[in-house]
């Protein structure tokens, strides 16, 4: 079977999903169900983990039988992110952490210096770290080399819906990080974006806004589930080469995802 392995666990689904911005909790639960996701990421704040209210997102997701992937959204420094991760581990009894350390609250792009520092500390402290990164090959390789369980470059900024704006960098990252799971996290806007990421040989997709803020979140969740499966199969199937026309003498093989 074609499983996604993260840390000590394996998952049938290659689609990880977020839990914010849905019209209401019922739609969220229906969309998560339709997506086929097994891992659902939840932003951790002190208040929501220590005693999650009945009917809180956290409570609903756990009751739904999904595995919670706590995340450090909203943290600007390694110190903050490490504290939130520790809080999450204690409250939720999990070593998993989706590490986000952002540089500002406009672009929501990662602060690479703080990210690398936090990742190092969390790995040393026994966490299974899934690191949200920019699409810089050098940074992604460092994250892999220090032992992150998954490296998660963005396709484009969080919430932008712009898809994979730089497929060339994603391709280089796959080349320089051949053995650690790579997941495109952020920027996916519609189904084809997810398929493109998988066709580049990525191991999975993490998304939130594309489903939660679609006009029909449950239909989009279904679309994304199929898109991830489709892109994975297409990658494994070995696509035809690109030529400017069928009998052209030179192939276009370098062209990717554009």
Number of residues that bind its own copies (CB under 8 A): 81
Nearest to its own copies of 42, 173 (CB atom) = 173
Residue 79 φ/ψ region, left for φ over 0, alpha for ψ in the -120 to 50 degree band, beta for the rest: alpha
| Contact of 135 with 170, CB cutoff 8 Å | yes
3-state secondary structure 106-142: CCCCECHHHHHHHHHHHHHCCCEEEEEECCCHHHHHH
Q: Is 217 in the site for its own copies (CB under 8 A)?
A: yes
Question: Which of these segments, 67-75, 86-94, 120-128, 211-219, binds its own copies (CB under 8 A)?
Answer: 211-219
Residue 13 C-beta: closest distance to its own copies, Å: 14
Specify the long-range contacts of residues 78-87, CB closer than 8 Å, at least 24 apart: 78/114, 78/115, 78/117, 78/118, 78/121, 81/114, 81/118, 81/122, 82/118, 82/121, 82/122, 82/125, 84/44, 84/45, 85/118, 85/122, 85/127, 86/125, 87/44, 87/46, 87/49, 87/50
- Told to check if 254 binds its own copies by CB under 8 A, we report yes
CA distances from 207 to 10, 179, 183 (A): 19, 22, 10
CB of 1 to its own copies, least distance (A): 15
Please give the torsion angle defined by the CA atoms of residues 6, 7, 11 and 17, in that order, rounded to the nearest 10 degrees.
Answer: -50
Residues numbered 136 to 195 that lie near its own copies (CB under 8 A) are 136-139, 141-142, 156-162, 165-166, 168-169, 171-172, 176, 189-192, 195
Name the residue nearer to its own copies (CB basis): 91 or 112.
112
Contacts to its own copies from residues 2-21, by CB under 8 A: none
Q: Does 224 bind its own copies (CB under 8 A)?
A: yes
Residue from the set 4, 58, 68, 116 that interacts with its own copies by CB under 8 A? 116
Member of 12, 26, 50, 236 binding its own copies (CB under 8 A): 236
Is 98 among the residues known to form the active site? yes
Minimum Å distance from CB 30 to its own copies? 13
**C-beta of 220: minimal distance to its own copies in Å?**
4
Query: If you search the block for the tokens 């699409």, which residue do you land on?
Result: 135
**Minimal distance in Å, beta carbon 191 to its own copies?**
4
Q: Which is nearer to its own copies, 47 or 219 (CB)?
A: 219
Burial of 79 (0-12, 13-18, 19+ CB in 10 A): middle
Residue 182 or 227 with smaller CB distance to its own copies:
227
Q: Does 239 bind its own copies (CB under 8 A)?
A: yes
28 forms part of the interface with its own copies (CB under 8 A): no
Catalytic residues: 98
């Amino acid at each position: 079977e074609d499983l996604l392995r993260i840390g000590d666990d394996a998952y049938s689904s290659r689609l990880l999903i977020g839990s914010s911005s849905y019209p209401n909790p019922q739609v969220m639960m229906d969309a998560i169900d339709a997506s086929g996701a097994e891992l659902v990421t939840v932003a951790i704040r002190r208040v929501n983990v220590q005693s999650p209210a009945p009917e809180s997102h956290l409570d609903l997701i756990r009751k739904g039988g999904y595995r919670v992937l706590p995340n450090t959204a909203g943290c600007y420094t390694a110190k903050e992110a490490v504290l939130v991760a520790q809080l999450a581990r204690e409250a939720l009894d999990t070593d998993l952490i989706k590490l986000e350390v952002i540089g500002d609250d406009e672009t929501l792009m990662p602060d690479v210096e703080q990210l690398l520092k936090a990742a190092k500390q969390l790995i040393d402290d026994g966490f299974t770290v899934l690191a949200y990164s920019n699409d810089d090959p050098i940074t992604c390789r460092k994250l892999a080399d220090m032992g992150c369980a998954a490296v998660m470059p963005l396709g484009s900024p969080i919430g932008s819906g712009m898809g994979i704006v730089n497929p060339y960098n994603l391709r280089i990252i796959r080349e320089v990080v051949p053995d650690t799971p790579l997941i495109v996290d952020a920027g996916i806007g519609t189904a084809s974006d997810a398929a493109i990421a998988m066709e580049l040989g990525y191991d999975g997709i993490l998304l939130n806004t594309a489903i939660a803020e679609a006009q029909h979140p449950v239909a989009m969740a279904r679309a994304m589930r199929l898109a991830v499966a489709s892109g994975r199969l297409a990658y494994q199937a070995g696509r035809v080469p690109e030529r400017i026309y069928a009998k052209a003498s030179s192939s276009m093989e370098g062209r990717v995802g554009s």
